[in-house]
Amino acid sequence: MDKVQMLQVLAASLFALGLTGVIIRRNVLVMLMCMELMLNGVNLSLVTFAHTMGSAVGAVLVFLIFVVATAEIAIAIPIVLLLVRRKRSLDIESYTDLKG
Amino acid sequence: MIRDFLAHLDTLLLWGFAACAFVSASLMLVLRQPMRVALALVSCMVFLGGVYGLLGVHFIAAFQVLIYVGAVMVFMVYAIMLLDPRDESATAKYSKLLWPGIIGFALLAEALAVGYWNDLPHAPRGALGEPFDIARFSTAFLTEYWLHFELTSVLLLVAVVAALAVIQENRRHERG
């Protein structure tokens, strides 16, 4: 198992772990952190491929993902704060306003 | 023997960092308190920064630590501190989707790992191990990819406006 394969498998498992965390955890903040973990897995995959191919495209994409992740957190945290202020709970299962 | 060890030190460190990153990512799923989950995520990001450093892309390693750990996670820890840590969801069981989630994880991880194992494109000979430096990256960033750079700055502006809109909405809700 060479280095590139190992890093790609690690990136895939980080992504899968993050997705599982988003599905199985109930705390909104923990779900947000699991989304960050998914982004980190994608970043690792991009960096490994950019390193393997010796091109700068992957690194440019990684920087764009950094910015998107920062913007995502900057929007998501105020929304979570407002939700908690209205519902008095961090539990995802108490946010059922959109349920038909 | 010591010379052999030193010659393979970077490979050993790479495997060690990768294993630590995987362990701390797994811990995120089983730890109960949000603050401990945040610390596990911070350690995972720092280990990934180590992996990037060992791959030779030092500027991405630096930005990983500066932006992710320094900005995003500090913001997250601040939010955890602001909210009540004794919330019931911090100690409650997993959601109802626990078993579908675990089965989905197994299937996704297997599909991705098998796909990587069999169909990973081979690197062009000689390209491996020649890290691109920040000079090449910056030139490419500001000449070839200037449109993406500008679009990203527009995205940040939109994020600022959206955050202001969220606050405005909250004020209106409190007043009415």
For chain B, the C-alpha Rg in angstroms (whole number) is: 22
Provide the 10 A C-beta neighbour count for residue B132.
19
- Whether B122 is in a domain gets the answer no
The answer for B133, left when phi > 0, alpha when psi is -120 to 50, beta otherwise, is beta
Q: Who wins on pLDDT, B45 or A26? A: B45
Contact B148, A64 (CB under 8 A): yes
Q: Which domain holds residue B168?
A: 132-176
- The pLDDT value recorded for residue B125 is 47
Count of A-B CB contacts under 8 Å: 223
Contact A45, A16 (CB under 8 A): no
Average pLDDT, chain B: 83
- Whether B51 is in a domain gets the answer yes
Of B53, B88, B123, which one is at a domain's C-terminal end? B88
Tokens 């491929």 found at: A49
What ipTM goes with this model? 0.92
Å between A100 CA and nearest CA of chain B: 19
- Whether B74 is in a domain gets the answer yes
Measured between CB atoms, which of B28, B37, B137 is closest to A56?
Answer: B137
pLDDT of residue B53 exceeding 60? yes
- The pLDDT value recorded for residue B127 is 47
Whether B22 and B83 share a structural domain: yes
Round to the nearest angstrom and report the end-to-end CA distance of chain A: 50
Rounded mean pLDDT, B43-66:
92
- The pLDDT value recorded for residue B39 is 94
For chain B, give the percent of residues with pLDDT over 90.
28
In one-letter notation, the amino acid at residue B175 is R
User: What is the token pair recorded at B47?
Assistant: 């280990």
Cross-chain residue pair B15–A6, CB shorter than 8 Å: yes
For the stretch B9-21, pLDDT in tens is: 888 999 999 999 9
Tell me the average confidence (pLDDT) per consecutive run of 10 residues in chain A, 100 residues long.
84 92 89 93 92 82 89 89 84 80
Rounded mean pLDDT, B81-108:
76
Å between A98 CA and nearest CA of chain B: 18
- Whether B75 is in a domain gets the answer yes
Rounded mean pLDDT, B82-111:
76
For the stretch B139-169, pLDDT in tens is: 888 888 889 889 999 999 999 999 888 888 8
- The pLDDT value recorded for residue B21 is 95
Q: What CATH number does the domain located at A3-91 have?
A: 1.10.287.3510
Which of A4, A15, A20 is best to mutate for the B interface (most B CBs within 10 A)? A20
DSSP annotation of B97: T
- Whether B106 is in a domain gets the answer no
Domain ranges of chain A: 3-91
User: Residue B65's domain is classified under what CATH number?
Assistant: 1.20.120.1200
| Number of domains comprising chain B | 2
- The pLDDT value recorded for residue A98 is 80
- Whether B83 is in a domain gets the answer yes
- Whether B146 is in a domain gets the answer yes
Enumerate the β-bridge partners of residue A27: A91
Give the 3-state secondary structure of chain A. Answer: CCHHHHHHHHHHHHHHHHHHHHHHCCEHHHHHHHHHHHHHHHHHHHHHHHHHHCCCHHHHHHHHHHHHHHHHHHHHHHHHHHHHHHHCCCEHHHCCCCCC
Q: Who wins on pLDDT, B5 or B47? A: B47
Closest chain B residue to A62 measured between Cα atoms? B60
Å between A20 CA and nearest CA of chain B: 6
